[in-house]
Amino acid sequence: MQSARHIRGRGIVRCRRKQYQGVRMAAQFLMPLLTNSQLLTPSSTCSYQRREKILDALMGVPSSLGHEGPLNYTHLTAFMSLQMGELLDMLEGPYMEAVAPPPSTHVAEMWSSSLQECYIHAVLHERSVESASEEKKTRPLRYEAGLVAQNLFADTLYGINTNKNFLSSGGGTGETTRRKETCESRLTSCKTLHLTHRWRQLIDEYTLMLPDRSPLHELENLPQEVGIGELLSSLFTSFDEGESEIKTIVDVGGGNGFLAAQLADRLKCESIVVDPFTPKHSIDNEDFPHWVNSPRQRPRTFRRYPLRRIPLRLPEVDWNSTNVNFDRCALVAKHLCGTAIDECLRHLQDLGKLPRVVVVVPCCYNKGCYDQYCNVKYLSNTANISNTDMWNRWTPLSDWNYSCNQCNINYNSSTLSCRTHMKEHTSWKKMKNILPCMDEIASVIAAIVNYGRVLWLQNAGYKAYTVQYVPRCVTPKNCAIVAVRQC
């Protein structure tokens, strides 16, 4: 379906209905943010002038997401001249802290720009391999957990690389060969030697007890598991002497239990998976053939700390009869969808059982409910979102983030920024041609939602903030909300 607009002196603009509605929702969302930012920025700045030009072009746009109305030519083309990064430069406000939060210590120290580039190439290769398997209607091959990661994170960094295709092609253990070029630095670099040793150590700690995995599953998930684990570890070591140790990890929506098992062994405590769904390949399902490859290249270890499973949603659990001391508990969630995070935290607050530590990674904002969000007053004041209909029109825009295979990555910074392959705007067939700042809009929406959660946690007695727990090349949703309260 196409929509056409004829404006006197402007001609005819034809675009798809999806594009038309996307631009309208983006304009309605950005108008109050740009207007408020205009009051905070000196009029002499370049960003002020660009913002003023955008606001002039958007004059007459329906005032909020609660209204529908026609767009004219200047509305539809208001954002087309923006370059990547310019929209973020125009916005001012506390929520901007959550748009590009600082990297965790682990990310800053362990993820060099060259390693990120190697990671992207490896993931794209394994995706193509799995796509070929799907076409042949065969299951992806599984290998000893940690081998693919060792090959990428340790061997590549060290300047040694196994044959790129040996795992995916079903070969044996493969033989390592010297590579003339390295992804980071020469063997003589002390820093490289240290990072190589540290990567090997981390991969062993997080994988020796895990079941066999497909290469793609490992590359997509292990960096996130390590990122969350090392973030928690740094929090625990920062506790003052005499403070209570964490004794329980509660993994909300933990699914297969891999993360819960890894955190339990890494942090030396028990773990509880709270999830109404139990996948058949769950780590605690002893009837599933988890280990199919032998002999192993590295000796398998067994889990040392208990893992329990509660097959319910967190608000359905009778926590008063559950043996968990929340003053010595850390609640984690990796990619918990929608407003499930808000629902869980508010429920625990009502019970007087807020955990000592919270580390949650939100995602799928469009699956949430306005009534469950923890800070609707802040949302209304900041983004003019004040009811369910406006929420439902707004949150789908958060899915506009580009993944690494859609981007031309800037590797010269400590964290990756997304730079799309944009040509001159001669085509109206794709949304990015009419709205090149799609990725930034998605990031701002996520930041506003997450900053509201940070404020809620701070009001509940936590020291709360956002941090990048993995680089953007791993996932566009790489922001974790971290909160610690004093006992």
Residue identified by tokens 């809620």 is: 456
For the chain, the maximum distance between any two Cα atoms, rounded to a whole number of angstroms, is: 75
Alpha carbon 8 to chain centroid, angstroms: 45
Alpha carbon 132 to chain centroid, angstroms: 27
Instruction: Name the DSSP letter for residue 104.
Output: P
Handedness of CA 279, 283, 286, 288 (dihedral sign): positive
For 19-61, the three-class secondary structure string (H helix, E strand, C coil) is HHHHHHHHHHHHHHHHHHHHCCCCCCCHHHHHHHHHHHHCCCC
pTM (2 d.p.): 0.86
And the tokens for 204? 């062993």
CB 202 within 8 A of CB 226: yes
What are the backbone dihedrals phi and psi of residue 455, each rounded to the nearest 5 degrees, phi first?
Answer: -60, -40
Question: Which of helix, strand or coil describes residue 341?
Answer: helix
Q: Report the 10 Å Cβ neighbour count for 99.
A: 20
Tell me: cis bond preceding 295? Omega within 30 of 0 counts.
yes
Taking Cα atoms as reference points, which of 142, 143, 141, 163 lies closest to residue 152? 163
- pLDDT of the chain along its 487 residues, tens only? 444 444 434 556 677 888 888 999 999 999 989 988 877 766 667 888 889 999 999 999 987 887 877 888 889 889 988 888 899 999 988 899 889 899 999 999 999 998 999 999 999 999 999 888 888 878 888 899 999 999 999 877 666 444 444 344 443 444 444 444 454 444 446 777 888 899 999 999 999 999 999 999 999 999 999 999 999 999 998 887 666 689 999 999 999 999 999 999 999 999 999 999 999 989 998 888 777 777 888 988 999 999 999 999 999 999 999 999 999 999 999 999 999 999 999 999 999 999 999 999 999 999 999 999 999 999 999 999 999 999 999 999 999 887 655 554 443 443 444 444 333 334 456 788 888 999 999 999 999 999 999 999 999 999 999 999 999 999 999 999 999 997 6
Angle, helix 438-459 to helix 376-383, in steps of 10 degrees: 140
Question: How many CA within 13 A on the CB side of residue 398?
Answer: 23
What are the backbone dihedrals phi and psi of residue 348, each rounded to the nearest 5 degrees, phi first?
Answer: -65, -35
Can you tell me the distance from the alpha carbon of 445 to that of 451, in angstroms, rounded to the nearest whole number? 10
Residue identified by tokens 């530590």 is: 357
CA dihedral 58, 59, 60, 62 (to 10 degrees): 50
The β-bridge partners of 418 are 409
And the tokens for 195? 């990072």
And the tokens for 65? 């997401």
Number of separate helices (H) and strands (E) present in the chain: 16, 13
Residue identified by tokens 């085509």 is: 427
And the tokens for 30? 């950005």
Instruction: Give the E-state strand segments of 62-216 in sequence order.
Output: 160-162, 176-178
Question: Which of helix, strand or coil describes residue 396?
Answer: helix
CB 447 within 8 A of CB 426: no
Can you tell me the distance from the alpha carbon of 39 to that of 18, in angstroms, rounded to the nearest whole number? 32
Can you tell me the distance from the alpha carbon of 418 to that of 113, in angstroms, rounded to the nearest whole number? 14
Rg (CA), the chain: 24
Burial of 365 (0-12, 13-18, 19+ CB in 10 A): buried
485 to 228, 230, 319, 386: CA distances (angstroms): 18, 19, 20, 30
Taking Cα atoms as reference points, which of 478, 471, 402, 465 lies closest to residue 235? 465
